[in-house]
Amino acid sequence: MSPCPAGRSSLDSLYEVVWATSCQTSVLEYVAQPLGLPAWPVLSWPPAPVSRRAGGRGWVVHKAAAIAEHLRADPRPFAWADDDLYRLTPPRPILQLGLQHLLIRPHRLAGLTAQHVDELLQFAAQPDAPAAGKGQ
């Protein structure tokens, strides 16, 4: 694992960061702590049998449902960065929200890059972007 690129602190101030990961709360111990990341909240969903051979599609369905539920409580533009996204078209639960969004699929081994951080910062700078909705 490599440390997060420069600009992460800027992202923290513009986005409400939450984890939606197949390792669920283990992410705090095995990813966040070693990389010096804050203990961001973790979205969860009921366990379900999922085949990783589907290219992560099974996980994406569960993550999308958890993210959609989170956003229904406080609808606002959002960004989703996930190496399990198998295409850059949002899954149905996300589309049904009708919210402005940015999807980023980092390479599984490289993680978020400086280019991704730039994309996230540009998205947050748009009218009606995440900074306008953070903490509401």
71-87 pLDDT, tens per residue?
A: 999 898 999 988 888 77
How buried is residue 121: exposed, middle or buried, by Cβ count under 10 Å (0-12/13-18/19+)? middle
**What residues does 103 pair with on adjacent strands?**
80
Summarised one tens digit per residue, pLDDT across range 14-71 is 888 888 887 888 888 988 888 888 888 998 876 655 555 444 556 788 888 889 999 9
Q: Residue ranges per domain, the chain? A: 8-133
Kindly tell me if the per-residue pLDDT of 136 is higher than 60.
no
pTM of the model: 0.77
